[in-house]
Copies of this chain bind each other. A is one copy, B any other.
Amino acid sequence: MSKIIRFHETGSADVLKIEDLPLTEPGEGEVRLKVEAIGLNRAEIMFRRGQYLEEPKLPSRLGYEASGTIDAIGPDISDIKIGDRVSTIPSFSMGAYGVYGESAIVPASAVAHYPESLSAIEGTAIWMPYLTAFGALVEIGQLKKEDIVLITAASSSVGLAAIQITKSAGALAIATTRGADKKQALLDAGADHVIVTNDEDLAERVMSITSGKGANIIFDPVAGPMLATLADAAAVGATIFEFGALSPEATPFPLFTSLAKGLTLRGYTLFEITKDARRLGRGKQYVYEGLQSGALKPIIDRTFTLDDIADAHRDMESNQQKGKIVVTV
C-alpha cells in the first residue's frame, strides 16, 4: 500500500484526502517513482478547484512535479533503470498521472535526471519553473540582451525563474509584486526594478524606467483586468505571454492598444515545450547548463510534509511565498 493524495470533489484545500491505495505496476512506456519530494504549482490549485485547462475525473489524483528514485519500469524501457534519481517534467495529464503521494507512475518520457549537486527538494523545483520561462522567453520570445522584460507575479517559482533567465541573457528584468513585503526578495533574486502594484502605477513606472519605450516582452500568469494595464506598459510591437488565469475576473481584450501598438498576445503553456521532443531537448540542455553555471538556482520558499498537504495548498493560496513550496515525503 502507499499513501496517495486524491480528491473526490472539487473545492477548497479541504477536499484533499490522504488515502492508502495498493501499489500498482507501470505499464508500457511508464515508470514508477518512489517519491522523495513534491513541487507545488498553481496548476494543481486550479485543477483541485475545477478551474484548470483539464477537467478532473473524480476521484482524481493531482500533481505535476516530484523527485525521487525509480523503483519499477515498464516493458521495453532502456534509457531509465531502477535506482535512477529523477524528477518529473510536466508533459502528462494530471488526472491520469498525478504525482502527489509516496509513489507515482508517470510516462518514461516525463522523467529526467537532475544534477547530482541538487537535493531532492531542489530537484523537484526545476522543470516547471525553468521550462515554462525558457519556452516563452527563449524558445518563442528569442530573448536577447536588448530586451526589456516585464514579469508579473514575480515571486512565484516561474516568476523567479523568468528573472534569472532574463538576467542570464543580459536583458532588463522589471518584476511586479502586489505588496512591498516581497520587494527586497525580488531585488535579491536579480530583478533590476520592482514595481509594487498596490502602491505604484504599473504602466507609468514601466514607461518611466524605459524612457517611454515600454517593455517588449511581458510574461504574465494573471490575466484579468490587469491585461489592459500590461498593454499600456508594452512597447510598440511587444509580445505579451499569457500563461495562466490566476485572476478570478474576466479578461477584456485590449483591442485599441493592440491595434495601435501592433501587440502580439500569445496564449502559452509549457506543454508546447514538454510535448515537443526537439523543444524539450533544447530546454533540458538550457536548464542543465544554467544550473551548472550558477545562472539558474532554484529558490525554495518552505517545505511541508505529505500529511500537511492541505496546509501546503493553503499556504500557496495565501500568496505569501517567494519561490517554490515543496512537500517532502
Q: For the complex, give the distance between the alpha carbons of A29 and B66 in Å.
A: 66
Say whether A252 contacts B255, CB under 8 Å.
no
CB distance from A262 to the nearest CB of B (A): 5
From residue A60, how far is it (CB to closest CB) to chain B in Å?
19
Q: Which of A249-268 contact B (CB under 8 A)?
A: 250-253, 255-268
In the complex, A265→B266 CA distance in Å?
6
What per-residue 1/0 map shows which CB atoms of A262-279 lie under 8 Å from chain B? 111111110010000000
- By a CB distance below 8 angstroms, the chain B residues around A266 are 258, 262-265
In the complex, which of the residues B53, B250, B262 contacts A268, with contact meaning CB atoms closer than 8 Å? B262
How many A residues are at the interface, by size bracket?
A: 20 to 34
CA distance A266 to B253 in the complex (A): 11
* A189 interface residue per 8 A CB criterion: no
Which of A223, A264, A267, A272 counts the most chain B CB atoms within 10 A?
Answer: A267
Q: Indicate whether A242 reaches chain B with its CB closer than 8 angstroms.
A: yes
Assess whether A242 is in contact with B269, with CB atoms less than 8 Å apart: no
Does A245 have its Cβ within 8 Å of any Cβ on chain B? yes
Q: Per-residue 0/1 for A106-141: is the Cβ within 8 Å of any B Cβ (1 yes, 0 no)? A: 000000000000000000000000000000000000
Pick from B252, B261, B262, B269: contact of A252, CB under 8 Å: B252
Q: Let me know if B251 and A251 touch, CB within 8 A.
A: no
Dominant secondary structure of chain A at its interface with chain B = mixed
Q: Which residue of B243, B256, B269 contacts A245 across the interface (Cβ within 8 Å)? A: B256
Given contact pairs A227-B253, A253-B223, A253-B251, A265 touches B259 in the complex (Cβ within 8 A): no
In the complex, which residue of chain B has the Cβ closest to the Cβ of A250? B252
Contact: B259 with A267, CB < 8 Å? yes
Residue in contact with A53 in the complex, picked from B245, B252, B256, B264, CB distance below 8 Å: B256
CB of A53 within 8 A of CB of B265, answer no
Q: Which residues of B contact A261 (CB under 8 A)?
A: 267
Enumerate chain B residues within 8 angstroms of A268, measured Cβ to Cβ: 259, 262
* B267/A272 in contact, CB under 8 A: no
Chain B residues with Cβ below 8 Å from A264 are 264-267
Contact B259 A53 (CB under 8 A): yes
Residues of B within 8 A of A269 (CB): 259-260, 262
Can you identify 17 A-B contacts, CB atoms within 8 angstroms? A53-B256, A223-B253, A223-B255, A242-B253, A242-B255, A242-B258, A242-B259, A243-B259, A245-B256, A251-B252, A257-B267, A258-B266, A258-B267, A262-B272, A265-B265, A265-B266, A265-B267
